[in-house]
Amino acid sequence: MFIALVALLGLGNLNAQDAKFVAVAGYHNLSMRVSEDSASVSVDGNGFYVGVSGEFTLSETLNLQTELQYASASQGDSANLIVLPILAKYYILMSLVYWQGLN
């Protein structure tokens, strides 16, 4: 909730020179395991993703990075996903950054 609030308040102050956009693509290897009592289920999959990433400067020490990705995974059944990760970056020092985000 904090990240969403910061994003809503800060996006009104954005200038065009404070935003950077790049294309992203890559390979992902997914693994999920669910266990309850004595039963356990494990699912593995792999695939590729493509998308666009944007980083917005909200203040001197705070940036917001978002991505919009199309991901395809397969291992037995195939899955096509739209992924929207959001990441807030707080610059403690120029070379030291604290990251917090959602996926």
Condensed to tens digits (0 to 9), the pLDDT of residues 35-66 reads 888 888 877 778 899 999 999 988 888 999 99
pLDDT band, very low/low/confident/very high, at 13 (cuts 50, 70, 90) = low
pTM (predicted TM-score): 0.60
Residue with tokens 């790049």: 22
State the Cα–Cα distance between residues 56 and 35, nearest whole angstrom. 39
SS3 percent helix, strand, coil of the chain, rounded to 5, is 15, 70, 15
